[in-house]
Amino acid sequence: MAKTQSERIIFGLKIRQLRQELGWNFEELSKQSGISISYLNEIEKGKKYPQPENQQRLATALNVSTEFLATPELTKQFAPIGDLLKTNFLNEIPLDLFGIEVQQVIEIIARAPDRVNAFISALLEIARNYSFRDENFFFAALRAYQELRVNYFEEIEDAADEFVRLHQLPDNGGVPEAQLASILELAYGYKIDDKSLGKYPELQSLRAVYNPHKKRLLLNDRLNERQRAFQLAKECGFNALQLKERPLASNMLRINNFEEVLNNYQAAYFAVAILINRNAFVRDIQAFFSLKTWDAQFLIDLMAKYQASPEVLFQRFNLLTKYFKLDKVFFMRIIHDTERDGFDIDKELHLNRKHQPHATGLNEHYCRRWLSVKLLRQLQAHSPTQTNAVSGVQRARFVDSGEQYLVISIAKQGYPTIGRNVGVMLGVLLDEQAQRRIAFWDDPNIESMDINVTCERCSIQHCAERAAPPTVIQKREDRKRMQALIQKFTEK
């Protein structure tokens, strides 16, 4: 019976530890066991699992039983590696995306087991204490992969261009959702049902559910035309890119493996690429950046031209790096829960490096001076069924780093989910390249604002928008005073 990767790795670690305890190199173990040095090396790296006769030779040479070698238990020195392997985390994330093999990771760990294992133990303890699930790691790995590729994937762009040509879709905006539905039905044998989900109140937050056995796509009947178009375009992506592993519900209630997360992203990327043609959008961005003064209506008009939601429109700004050499960029989405009046960052992406803000998952009060928060406040007075969007711009200077960003944002009602409004935000670091590219960056009518990540971490004095005291800053100052007093009492 073929051994799993985890079983091969654990067996190899045992052999390595026992060999090192005896003070042997590979040559000595080869001499004592009669197994070649190259094969021993493969065993220790977890690439090979020896046959029973070679297991017996190794057990005899190392003075242990074959049963001990075959058990999955590791000694205390390597136990954290076993815990990590049991989570299946290393096996689920395709390290090959980053040019890394699992064996390379294990080899690094095995070189300094005490220190590295202490670090792994700390990570696992943090994960347990903060209830981190596999999907937390999966989404973190996906963000890292996007950032590594500056969120631009030429192979998916090319596939989208071919799809547009093959099915004669508009390449300058306004892809009809009826045309996408027809492609799914005729080319891929889909049955589209926009009635059934409405019968179940528990499913009203879902935009779509897919039944792979019947090729039946259930759409929420409350979706507007833009939202329907995106869901249909995404289904086209799963089929055109031949992505088999996929989530069956639009909000990924249950995640089975990393491949589902990656494929879901690739299908969504494909959808954006066919709804907003890259060549047409590059021309639109050039026209936008050439404006001498800020024009809030320009972005709203682009949404109408491409029949796109703010999220889809802002995702297409992934073209900034390749075509405009603007790679010091962050993207963020903020959800405003109007019932509890809370603001949560649920998506963020940083190109080139970690920019401020980077705060997904902090259980703190996000800075109310952010442009998206201001726009979301404006939406509170609107009707819950109104889907009009508002846009704005801001020059934001982060008080911790002193860096200044041009921040562009669109906010909209969270329809069909009432009470959860959405604000998407694009921040471009105002370095020399950005100032050359964006003509309106110094428009005097653009508001400049000192800003921070969260109220708890903010040192701005007398802030009218503050929603919580600066507890993190206060604790930091308390520690500094304690350290100063300790130094005073311990100096000569």
Instruction: Please list the pLDDT of the chain residue by residue as tens digits (492 residues).
Output: 677 777 888 888 888 888 988 999 999 999 999 999 999 998 888 888 999 999 999 999 999 888 888 887 776 666 666 666 666 566 666 677 777 776 677 666 666 666 666 666 666 666 666 555 666 778 878 888 888 888 999 999 999 999 999 999 999 988 999 999 999 999 999 999 999 988 888 888 889 999 999 999 999 998 989 999 999 999 999 999 999 999 998 877 777 788 899 999 999 999 999 999 999 999 999 999 999 999 999 999 999 999 999 999 999 999 999 999 998 898 989 888 888 888 888 888 877 655 555 555 567 787 888 888 889 988 877 655 555 789 999 999 988 788 899 999 999 887 666 778 889 999 999 999 999 999 999 999 999 999 888 888 888 888 888 888 888 888 988 888 998 889 888 887
Residues 127, 102: Cα–Cα separation, whole Å: 21
Residues 401, 452: Cα–Cα separation, whole Å: 10
- Counting DSSP H helices and E strands in the chain, the numbers are 21, 9
Q: How many CA atoms lie within 13 A of 93 on its CB side?
A: 24
User: Helix 258-275 vs helix 225-240: angle between axes, to the nearest 10 degrees?
Assistant: 120
Residues 264, 252: Cα–Cα separation, whole Å: 9
In the chain, the domains with their CATH numbers are 5-132 (1.10.260.40), 154-275 (1.10.10), 310-476 (no CATH)
